[in-house]
Structure 1
Amino acid sequence: MTNVRAKKNLGQHFLTDKNIALKIVDSLQAEGVNHVLEVGPGMGVLTRFLLQKENYKTTVVEIDRESVAYLKVHFPQLEDRILSRDFLRMNLNEYFSGPFAIIGNFPYNISSQIFFKVLEYRDQIPEVVGMLQKEVAERLATGPGSKTYGILSVFLQAFYDIEYLFTVHENVFNPPPKVKSGVIRLRRNQTKTLNCNEKLFFQLVKAGFNQRRKMLRSSVKSFIRDEELKQDPIFSKRPEQLSVNDFERLTRLIESQS
């Protein structure tokens, strides 16, 4: 079977450098897991090295039917572990009863949605290694005080320790993207539940960053009485100045006044 044609609507850019593929796979530590799920394997440049690992079993999920057909021909050892599905719509509990890690060369156009999905199953996913647009990778890994720090940065850092591992240049993809890529690793931290009302926490983070240039007294005023906005210096800060712990404190403060 000939190579798969990259489809623009699926955001496909196939990695062609096997050394980088191996480096990505070797970045996955996979401690305490028996299963790894590769998202968007394409023509299997990562899959080839994942299947060489004996400490876990690899399953792949691919929405592109042409890629699925290619994988079935070239990786018969996967057998029934090629899932022709849309990862974003899957109920992962139907496929994994215990913990599993995630790895992939994530399509640029859905990489943020992939990480929201990871958050949804965070108690089953102790580790993620992903390649995505460099700018987005840096945003997820950066801490408070950065212009790129945002909603997903806070959400993920509440439950994961995130490392930016290395940069991948455009010329090792077919077709080459217009921007560089970055590889990051997420490892589940010790936080089981937040030290506050989680629903309110998520609402406040979104409200803050939806008006990121304004002080919090403007962006969260709908959550608290006006007189309280003058009491605590936290309301004079902008959202990118707040760590996860700061947002937890903000949540408790607002909850205590409501």
Structure 2
Amino acid sequence: MGKKWKKRKDDYTYKKSAEKGPVKAKKYLGQHFLKDEDIAQKIADTLLLKDYKNVIEIGPGTGVLTKYLLLKDLNLVAMDLDADSIIYLNHSFPLEHPKVLQGNISFQVIEADFLNYDMQTLFGKEQFGITGNFPYNISTQIVFKMLEMREQVPEFSGMFQKEVAQRICATEGNKTYGILSVLVQAFYTTEYLFTVHPQVFDPPPKVQSGVLRLTRKSDFELGCDEKLFYRVVKTAFNQRRKTIRNSLKTFSLSDNLKEDVIFDQRPEQLSVADFIALTKRIANDTV
């Protein structure tokens, strides 16, 4: 059976070749392939694509999300470390896609490691969104890499292990609120969108998954020393059961500053704004 595009509901979806064998999930890559079409479409729809058109999909695997992204008005790069997935995607999503042929979108498949890839070789200084069913073993690293590129990333969405997604979106006072929560929310508005159960994956993971969306704040400048902010947040949460006064002992702060009531609180009690204000005060402190 040959390859062709099948029109459905005024859109095009790819009918894959029956002669092509399936890609097998690899445990060492943390792969769990989504097989639920409705959920794939819901994830594709999490991108609002406001004022940008470039998108990178991380870990496309068998392309269940890719095909719904290609129905949108965007320029898509699908990036995967798995050579088998790259071969499958190039076979299943050729350049003969109607929107590519019409010049409405561009599409390319790249075998590469997102964590070590220079994104400017793809998009230059243009804005781009990020999405995907992220490999759980590197999902947190993907978020930190995204934060480094935040000036170019107005929107980020996708699927994580549920507890990681909840941690990213947690607010102060919550037990899951931590380093990841504060650093992400300093620059992005977070939304936990919906939960995905294990049985819709092949193979099923041992945990539930969660889909979130991050939207960059209109004013995402901290207003304080960024390196110091990161250090304050990480040091405070590394001893989260202690008060700020005790967890920040290595900063050699003045006694006058440590008398402030904020130092009587534990890190999970401080909002992002509190951490920014604390960083400013520490920067101006003289022992």
TM range (shorter): over 0.9
Q: In the alignment, what sits opposite 1:32? A: 51
- Matched to 1:86, the amino acid is D
Q: Deviations over 1:147-187 (max 9, x none)?
A: 10111110110000000000000000000000100000000
Structure 2: state its 5+ residue gaps: 1-19, 98-105
Of 190, 201, 219, the match for 1:191: 219
- Matched to 2:67, the amino acid is R
Give 3-state SS (helix, strand or coil) of 2:204's partner: coil
Measure the CA separation in 1 of the matches of 2:257 and 2:263.
6
Q: Deviations over 1:191-236 (max 9, x none)?
A: 3321211111100000001111111111111113351354201111
TM-score by length of 2: 0.87
Matches within 5 A, 1:100-119: 100-119=128-147
Measure the CA separation in 1 of the matches of 2:160 and 2:107.
27
Matches within 5 A, 1:73-152: 73-77=91-95, 81-97=108-124, 98-152=126-180
- Matched to 2:88, the amino acid is Y
TM-score by length of 1: 0.97
Q: In the alignment, what sits opposite 2:76? A: 58
Measure the CA separation in 1 of the matches of 2:225 and 2:207.
39
1:232 paired with 2:246, answer no
Q: Deviations over 1:111-135 (max 9, x none)?
A: 0000001100001000011101001
Structure with a larger share of its residues in helix: 1
- Matched to 1:240, the amino acid is E
Q: In the alignment, what sits opposite 1:177? A: 205
How far is 1:5 from its partner?
0.9
Contact 1:217 1:229 in 2 (8 A): no
- Matched to 2:26, the amino acid is K
Measure the CA separation in 2 of the matches of 1:182 and 1:36.
20
Structure 1: state its 5+ residue gaps: none
* Superposed structure 1 runs of 4+ greater than 6 Å apart: none
How far is 1:80 from its partner?
6.7
- Matched to 1:24, the amino acid is I
- Matched to 2:230, the amino acid is F
Measure the CA separation in 1 of the matches of 2:79 and 2:55.
11
Q: In the alignment, what sits opposite 2:247? A: 219
- Matched to 1:149, the amino acid is Y
Contact 1:224 1:254 in 2 (8 A): no
Measure the CA separation in 2 of the matches of 1:17 and 1:234.
47
- Matched to 1:146, the amino acid is N
Contact 1:99 1:126 in 2 (8 A): yes
1:48 paired with 2:67, answer yes
- Matched to 1:60, the amino acid is A
Of 37, 52, 73, the match for 1:18: 37
Measure the CA separation in 2 of the matches of 1:233 and 1:56.
50
Superposed CA RMSD:
1.3
Give 3-state SS (helix, strand or coil) of 1:107's partner: coil
Measure the CA separation in 1 of the matches of 2:237 and 2:107.
43
How far is 1:256 from its partner?
1.1
Give 3-state SS (helix, strand or coil) of 2:57's partner: strand
Give 3-state SS (helix, strand or coil) of 2:183's partner: helix
Contact 1:132 1:182 in 2 (8 A): yes
Measure the CA separation in 2 of the matches of 1:225 and 1:59.
48
